[in-house]
Structures are given as C-alpha cells and as structure tokens.
Amino acid sequence: MDAHALSVLEFDAVRRHLAGEAFTEPGRREALGLAPCRDMATARWLQDETMEMRRGVAEQGRPPVDGAGDLPKILVSARIEGHPLDPEDLLSVASSLRAARAVLSWAGRIEWEKPRLEAVIANLRAEPEVEREISAAFDEQGKVADGASPALREIRRTMARLEERIRRRMDDILSRASSWLQDSFVTQRNGRWVIPVKSGSRSNVPGIVHDSSDSGATLYIEPASVVETGNDLAAATAEERVEVRRILTALSDRVRSILPALERNGAALAAIDLAAARARLAERLNAARAEIDDGCRVRLDGARHPLLVLKGVDAVPIDLRVGDDFRILVITGPNTGGKTVALKTTGLLHLMALAGLHIPARPGARIGAFTDISADIGDEQSIEQSLSTFSAHLRRIVDLLRTAGPRTLVLLDELGAGTDPAEGGALGCAILESLLASGSRVVATTHLTELKSFAATTPGVVNGNVLFDPETLSPLYTLEIGVPGRSNAFAIARRYGLPDPVVARAEDFLGDRQGEISALSAEIRELERSIATYGGEIDGIDAQLTALRERERSGAVPKEIEQARTMAPELRKVHEELQFRVAYARSAFE
C-alpha cells in the first residue's frame, strides 16, 4: 500500500490504539507493524480470525497471554552455545511457557470450531518440565535460590557463618572504640566489611584502608582482626559466583534444547495477543466484519470515523457507495460539512479491513478488494522543496495516475483547488476522466461547478452532497448520493454579518447559470424524495393486493380489491412521471 496514503489517512493512529490493547511487548510490536494485505485471501482469513477471537473472548474471557516475555529478543542470546542467560531472561522463558500452557487450556475450553485460531494455537507447545526446572531455581526476588543445587546451599551456609563471625567482631570493636569512629555502623567497600574511622585516629584502629570520604575526614577500615575471616568470605563468594554461573548455564542449555518450540511459541503468543487486541478494539468501536468484494464494489452503511469514535465524539454515521452503477463519486457541499471526513472514513476503513480489523459500520459493510489505495488529502505545501499547495497536490496526482488501475481506490480532496477555478476545474475533469478510463474507483471532494457538471453528465460518475440545514446554516454531516451540493457561501456570509448589498452583488457576479444549477439541484433533491415516498406507497399497495387476493379466494372483500387495483396504476403513473422529471432535470446540466 502507498505509504503516503497510510500517513494522510492516519492508519498509524489506529495502529497505536491497537497496540494499546495488547498485553505483551511482542504483541505491541506486531500491532505497530500491522499493514493492509494485498492478498485478499489473507485479509479474509484475518477478518475471520478476529471474529473467532471476539466470540472466544465473549465466552471464555481474553486469552491469558499475560507474562509472556519478549522471546524473540531473549532467544538471540540463547542461541550462543555455552552462554548463560540472565536470571531475568530465564524467568521470562518460564513465564512464557506458563502463558503457552494457559492459552492451550483456554482454547481447550472452547468447544465450537475455530479453524483460524486453531491454526495459530497448533504452534504452541507446553514444556512443563523446563518450566518447573527454571521456576524452582529462583526465589521470589528473582535471585538464584539456595536450593538450586546442594553445592550452592552449602556455599551459602558457609558464607552466612563467616558473615556472622565478622559482624560479631565488628560489633565488639564499635562498642570499645567509639571515640575513634566517625559513626557507629558497619558497611562494605569493595566487597569487604569496614567501619568508618576518623582520619586522625588511623593509628588506633589497625587494619586495611579500603576507601575514604570525599572530604578525607573518614577512612573506611577493615580491622586486622577480621581480615583473615574476610579472606575466607571472599573465597566463598567467588565459589558462589562459579556455582551460580554453572546453574545458569545448565538452565540455559535446557532452554537451548527446546529452541524451535520456543521460537514457535513466541510467534504464536504474539499472534494470539494481536488477535485479542483486534477483538478488543472491535468491541470498543462496536465494529462489524467487512465483506471484501472482488468486484471492488464499496458499500458502507452507518460508517463512522474510528478515531472520532475512540475520542468519544458522537460522530454522525454516513452511508457511502461506489463501484456498482458508477465508479467515481464527486462529493460537494459547504466547508466543515463533512466532505473530508467522508473521504478519510472511506479510505481508513478500507485500510483497517484489509489488515484484518473490523470496522465501525453496520453489519453487511462491503469494501473493495483493492491492492492499492492512493490519496491526495490536505494542504501539502512544502517550503523546503519550494512547492506551492497546488504544485504539491499535482505531484501526488501525477504519481497516482501512473499507478492507477481497476484494483485501485483513489481519494482526492478538493480536486482542482489552489489555482484559477476555471483551469483547476478543467484539470479536475481531465484527471477524473483519466481515472475513469483506468478502471479505478474514486471518491473526490470539490467546490468547483465544472466538476459538478462533469459528474452530472458523465456515465460512471455521480455527484454526492453533504447536507446542510438551510434554516440553521449548520452542516448535518450526512451524505446524499445522486445530487450535487452547494457551498452555501452566500447564506453563510449573510449569517456572519456580511452586508446584504455585498452578498447581492456577489450573486449578480455569479450569474444566471449558477442560479439555474442550484435550482435544478434543489428540484432533483425534492423529486427524489417524492420518488422514494411514492415507491414506498406502491410497495405497500402491492403487499395489500397480495393479502387481499388470498382473502378473495374465500369470496371476501371484492370491493377492497377493486379499490387497490384502481389506486396502484395511478400511483405507478405518478412514480414514472417523477422519474421522468428527474431525468429531465439532470439533462439540463448538459
């Protein structure tokens, strides 16, 4: 997928939210590296995997991946023959083995078929003996336990006896030589037990000086009477280090003996954590599984922008379609009316679905099997590269025209803007014509009349309109397909206090043709509402006729049947007349 499109459609923000739902570091890495699939079979598999995980979580709670360590990182060191792993890494291996065992148990409690999850879980392997060996070798603080080996237990007993002997001797010195001491405590320097002696009393406390204070007023002296015992303790400490290293190496060798299983466990636990994160994000978004249409026909009903939902914004759902009876949708309407949000929602939901994520839309949502999504959205002016806004947009469009094809979704924001409106409109029409010829599916936004007219008169291209309340002059954030929108600049200008003579003069400058177009747009909208109303009434009468015919067979209600038969043709005639008027109004754009 186009990296620029991923950026402007804010797929990174979705990945960050997904990573926040993961419980392990490998799972978070997988979430942050998630990418839309170009292979539709993989995308569908991940969609189904997410669905299975949602059901599994609903029934059994989330899979217990807690404690699974960063195995890929740890196993890099484990591959070095003879290299002892740190206690922290060994404990992480044990914790990961415990997580694998717990996930296998979790999966075993799910009785229904779950082929996608099973394909991942099948890679998990419990190694209870290795898990027990590692766990038993450490105490609660993560230190190698005394009982890790008989030799270590004996060494530490010896060390404890020697330390106790030194402490008793030190306490005796503290009680007898308090006037020579800077303070009454015992501490360690360089692994040796010492007491703080005043520098002027050095000769009164025979022993070895191991350190001094910054000021030089205090000397840290190991009294001569404990030096020999201290030497014995140092020797025992060295023996302890050797034995601990031997134990760590032996445990690391056990880890090395099951490296292939651990590598598979690491990948499987990360995949399970990621699937569970996808399931949790879907629940937060109240999302649905999207069908992936090989014909690249898009239908999004009740679609909401996921980042607005995650921010707690009460976003108005939109209905958008493209790819059935038309391949290009040109959305027009006022600023802040939701054109760009509709554009971004369409693109971002495609990226999410192709990455295996469920999308915030009504069930039955359908996305196209696009292998490429290209977008030109926002102000991309570049001072560093000496590019104006128009030049920056044009550069992106040149790139996307080069790669556009039947499996491409193209999103164009404010097409033709940033230059002379007449020339920008002409360029926009030519760009849309080229994309239409390429077979791409396109959603574009614009304010330009030329593009509205192009959409109204070109087969395969349709206008869309973000609705605007003419009474309150507020956007309704609702998309209506089939009718061009108005920017409502004059109405908004009056609302904000621009003098009426100025607005009236602006309307004069605009000319009659634009007024005709606006009137026709309004007429089309009204006629299509009437068509929908009459169509509904006709369906109702047809249903009544069917019911009445059933009753007629028993000899009942002949009068009611005759009335319904009379009304139905009349309503159909009105319905057909309205459809003719819509077609006539659309032809006026030509």
The neighbour count for residue 10, using CB atoms within 10 Å, is 18
Q: Where are the alpha helices (DSSP H) in 355-467?
A: 389-403, 421-438, 449-457
Answer for the pair 346, 377: CB distance below 8 angstroms, yes or no: no
Band the pLDDT of 559: cuts 50, 70, 90.
low
| pLDDT at 221 (0 to 100) | 87
Tell how strand 441-445 and strand 461-469 pair up: unpaired
Give dist(CA 448, CA 425) in Å, integer. 6
* Token pair for 290: 């999207």
Whole-number pLDDT of residue 381: 40
Q: Is the pLDDT of residue 571 over 90?
A: no
Residue 16 CB contacts under 8 Å (≥ 6 apart), including other chains? 32
Among 159-163, 263-267, 397-401, 534-538, whose mean pLDDT is lowest? 534-538
Res 384: pLDDT: 40
Angle between helix axes 128-136 and 224-257 (nearest 10 degrees) is 170
**Buried b / exposed e along 73-84 (16+ C-beta atoms within 10 A):** ebbeebeeeeeb
CB 232 within 8 A of CB 172: no
User: What is the predicted pLDDT for the residue at 457?
Assistant: 86
How many angstroms separate the Cα of 42 from the Cα of each of 35, 350, 374? 12, 14, 21
Amino acid at the residue 288: A
Q: What are phi and psi of 112, to 5 degrees?
A: -80, 165
- At 403, is the pLDDT very low, low, confident or very high (cuts 50, 70, 90)? very high
C-alpha gyration radius of the chain: 38
What confidence category does residue 466 fall into, taking pLDDT thresholds of 50, 70 and 90?
A: confident
pTM above 0.85, yes or no: no
Is residue 26 within 8 Å of 68, Cβ to Cβ? yes
Q: Decide if 275 contacts 120 (C-beta within 8 A).
A: yes
CA dist 374 and 241 (Å) reads 61
In this prediction, residue 225 carries a pLDDT of: 87
**Does residue 526 register a pLDDT over 60?**
no
What is the spatial distance between Cα 175 and Cα 434, in angstroms, rounded to a whole number?
A: 97
Residue ranges of the alpha helices (H) in 258-368?
259-285, 306-310, 339-354
Which two tokens mark 204?
Answer: 């009164």
Residue 516 binned pLDDT confidence (cut-offs 50, 70, 90): low
Contacts of 428 (CB under 8 A, 6+ apart): 415, 416, 444, 446, 448, 450, 451, 454
Average pLDDT over residues 178-200: 85
**What residues form DSSP beta bridges with 192?**
189
461: helix, coil or strand? strand
Residue 99 phi, psi (nearest 5): -65, -40
> Range with the lowest mean pLDDT among 49-63, 141-155, 169-183?
169-183
Which of 145-159, 319-333, 472-486, 547-561 has the weakest average pLDDT?
547-561
CA pair distance 85, 259, nearest whole angstrom: 13
pLDDT above 80: residue 25 = yes
Cβ pair 430, 409 in contact under 8 A: no
pLDDT of residue 589: 46
Distance CA 272, CA 117 (A): 8
- In order, the DSSP letters of 2-42 are -HHHHHHTTHHHHHHHHHHT-SSHHHHHHHHT----SSHHH
Coarse DSSP helix, strand, coil percentages of the chain, rounded to the nearest 5 percent: 60, 15, 30
Average pLDDT, the chain: 85
How far apart (Å, rounded) are the C-alpha atoms in residues 129 and 85? Answer: 18
- Please state the rounded mean pLDDT for residues 108-136: 95
CA 265 – CA 72 distance, rounded (Å): 10
* Residue-level pLDDT at 422: 87
User: pLDDT (tens digit, 9 = 90+) per residue, 356-400?
Assistant: 999 999 999 999 999 999 999 875 444 344 446 678 788 889 999
pLDDT single digits (tens) 195-248: 888 888 888 888 899 998 888 888 998 888 889 999 999 999 999 999 999 999
What is the model's pLDDT at position 89? 95
Which of 84-88, 544-548, 576-580 comes out lowest in average pLDDT? Answer: 576-580
Shortest CA distance to 72 belongs to which of 84, 89, 55, 54?
A: 89
Kindly list the strands in the beta sheet with 328-332, ordered across the sheet, starting from the edge strand earlier in the chain.
372-376, 408-412, 441-445, 328-332, 461-469, 474-481
Q: Percent of the chain, pLDDT > 90?
A: 55
Q: What is the pLDDT of residue 386?
A: 40
On the CB side of 261, CA atoms within 13 Å amount to: 18
Looking up tokens 């206090």, which residue turns up?
497
Q: Which residues pair with 475 in a beta bridge?
A: 468
Instruction: Say which residue, 348 or 545, is predicted with more confidence.
Output: 348
Q: What's the rounded Cα separation, in Å, for the pair 446 and 460?
A: 18
- Residue 56 pLDDT greater than 90, yes or no: yes
Share of the chain above pLDDT 70, in %: 81
Better-predicted residue by pLDDT, 25 or 186? 25
pLDDT band at 537 (very low <50, low <70, confident <90, very high): low
> Which helix (H) or strand (E) segment is 576 a member of?
helix 558-587
Amino acid occupying residue 396: R
Asked whether residue 523 carries a pLDDT value surpassing 60, the answer given is no
- Residue 470's closest CA among 457, 485, 456? 485
Mean pLDDT of 117-144: 95
Q: How far is CA 548 from CA 168, 323, 373, 397, 567, in A?
A: 109, 40, 53, 60, 14
Mean pLDDT of 347-357: 97
Between the CA of residue 276 and those of 103, 127, 382, 450, what are the distances in Å? 12, 24, 41, 49
Residues constituting the chain: 590
Task: Say how far apart CA 278 and CA 108 lie, in whole Å.
Answer: 21
Exposure b/e, 411-446, CB count within 10 A at least 16 = b: bbbbbbbebeeeebbbbbbebbeebbebebbbbbbb
**Number of helices (H), then strands (E), in the chain:** 20, 14
What does the alpha-carbon distance between residue 95 and residue 145 come to, in Å, rounded to a whole number? 17
**DSSP 3-state assignment of 524?**
helix
- Tell how strand 366-368 and strand 372-376 pair up: unpaired
**What is the enclosing helix (H) or strand (E) of 197?**
strand 192-198
Sign of CA dihedral 123, 129, 132, 134: negative
